[in-house]
Amino acid sequence: MRDDRDPLDGAGPPLPPAELRARVLAAVGPVLAREPVGRWTRIWQSRPLRISWAAAMALLALAHVALSLRAPRREGPPVVASVPRDNERAARPRHEPELARAISLPRIDPDDEAWTALFEEAGTDEIGHRRHSVRPPSGKEKS
Amino acid sequence: MTNGGLSGVSTTMIAMTDEIPRSPAGKIVDAAPAGDAGVGLWRRLFSELASGRTSAIEELYDVCSRQVFGLAVWRTGSIEDANDVVQELFVRLVQRRGDLSGVANPRAWLLSVARRLAVDVTRRKKRRPTSSLEDCPLLVAAENDPGRAIDAARASRWMAALPSAQREAIYLRHFADCTFETIGDITHVPTFTAASRYRLGMARLRKRMGEEK
């Protein structure tokens, strides 16, 4: 069943206690004696804002540390291969033998054993009056 | 009490809220001028306080204490907490008196701050509003009539059973004489939502009233 009368008719919220007025005025008295605080000063002096700022900074620092620990470490040389110069041969990657072979082509590596052996078999010097294949001899051919 | 005008509320809103009661219930406790005249007075007091007339705070208390206290009681469910809310509200008001002249709607501003303080108090004390509200008289009778007092106590129980959002919408509409647009500003919801909360709350109250008859 529904009643269309006003359920709040004849009633109202309670009145504030009589002593509240004196209490409020006593509380605002010292504040009134001080200079009014500007907006920026209030923001600067706000404890919640300071706590929020500190929490944000701490969170950023923690996130930085956590991401640094989780990210995979980059070890070894870059993936891009390059032909090392003579003075860089000492730094030739040893843990990637396939890569090392690829970047030390016998055509440009005068110290390569297979290369010199090839010239020795042909009976020419490295400048070569006779042309030879740049492909290094395979182990089978060598043997 | 008037209904505070429906300026700012769309035609759809008016059609939807045709159940708005138009009784003068609010007058029994609302001594402050309501509607636009009240807003003008509040704005003048705000300007005077901002310009340095410190005695304006007493007049402002006399004008607005009933509305903010009632809202605090309805939101916190405790007279003591409502006292704290009103005190804290006026302390903040005085602290920010330099900025008060720029407040466009002083009444909405004060009620909004009071509401926020009341919500903070409720959260801080981790009190369940519905349980404490049962013991707190949200409504009192206007006259010393035992029959009225019983009705008010019963209506207070019904009100306590409502969700807090609907309860505060009813309060702001019925006793603080706010438009739905202002209620939306105070409670940080769209105007349509504020009107819906009011309408649903009143419908529930009427339903409860019909069930107990």
C-beta separation of A32 from A38 below 8 A:
no
Closest to B29 in 3D by CA, of B143, B128, B147 = B143
Residue contact B95–A37, C-beta within 8 A = yes
Residue tagged 């706000």 (tokens): A46
Q: Which residue has the higher pLDDT, B21 or B125?
A: B125
pLDDT digits (tens, 9 = 90+) for A49-100: 999 999 999 999 999 999 988 877 666 665 555 555 555 555 555 666 776 7
| CA distance linking residue A10 with residue B25, whole number of Å | 6
| A11 inside 8 A of chain B by CB | yes
Of A10, A24, A39, which has the smallest distance from its Cβ to B141's Cβ? A10
Q: For chain B, positions 67-86, list CB contacts with chain A under 8 A.
A: 69-70, 73-74, 79, 82-83, 86
Total-model pTM: 0.60
| pLDDT at B41 (0 to 100) | 82
Interface of A with B in 14-53 (CB under 8 A): 14-17, 20-21, 23-25, 27-28, 31-32, 36-39, 42
In this predicted structure, the answer to whether residue B8 has a pLDDT above a threshold of 80 is: no
Amino acid letter, residue B17? T
Ramachandran sector of residue B188 (left: φ over 0; alpha: ψ -120 to 50; beta: rest): left
**Distance between CA B84 and CA B117 in Å, rounded?**
9
For position A58, what pLDDT does the model report?
97
Asked if residue B72 has pLDDT above 50, the reply is yes
ipTM of the complex: 0.70
For residue B36 the two structure tokens come to 């636009």
Q: What is the pLDDT of residues B76-123, one digit of tens each?
A: 888 888 899 999 999 988 888 888 877 888 888 899 999 999 999 888
pLDDT of residue A39: 75
Instruction: Dig out the tokens for A111 from the structure.
Output: 């110290």
B204 touches A: beta carbon within 8 Å: no
Residues of chain B with Cβ-Cβ distance to A30 below 8 Å are none
**Residue with the larger pLDDT of the pair A41 and A116:** A41
**End-to-end Cα, chain A, rounded Å:** 108
Q: CA B197, B203, B205: angle at the middle one, nearest 5?
A: 100
Task: Give chain A's mean pLDDT.
Answer: 72
| Nearest CA among B112, B86, B103, B85 for reference residue B184 | B112
Q: Label each residue of A42-101 as H, E or C.
A: HHHHCHHHHHHHHHHHHHHHHHHHHHHHHCCCCCCCCCCCCCCCHHHHHHCCCCCHHHHH
Choose the mutation target among B22, B90, B213 for the interface with A, i.e. most A CBs under 10 Å.
B90
**Structure-block tokens of residue B34:** 């309501």
Euclidean distance between CA atoms B27 and A99, whole angstroms? 91
Burial of A103 per CB tally in 10 Å (0-12, 13-18, 19+): middle
Is B133:B77 a contact under the CB 8 Å cutoff? yes
The residue assigned the tokens 């409504």 is B139
Q: In this predicted structure, what is the pLDDT of residue A14?
A: 84
* Partners of residue B213 in chain A, C-beta under 8 Å: 1, 3
Inter-chain residue contact B91 with A31, CB threshold 8 Å: yes
B30: contact with A, CB 8 A cutoff: yes
Q: What residue type is A67 in one-letter code?
A: L
pLDDT top residue among B46 and B21: B46
CA of B205, closest CA in chain A: separation in Å? 7
* pLDDT number for residue B3: 38
What pLDDT is recorded for position B20?
A: 32
Among A50, A47, A28, A25, which residue's Cα sits nearest to residue B95? A28
Output A105 or B39, whichever has higher pLDDT.
Answer: B39
Q: What mean pLDDT comes out for the span B114-134?
A: 74
Q: Summarize the confidence of residues A9-34 as an average pLDDT.
A: 85
Distance of residue A53 Cα from the nearest chain B Cα, in angstroms: 21
Residue A38, C-beta contacts closer than 8 angstroms, at least 6 positions apart: B98, B99
Instruction: Write the CA distances from A114 to A103, A104, A134, B32, integer angstroms.
Output: 15, 12, 11, 106
Alpha-carbon span B93 to B97, nearest angstrom: 6
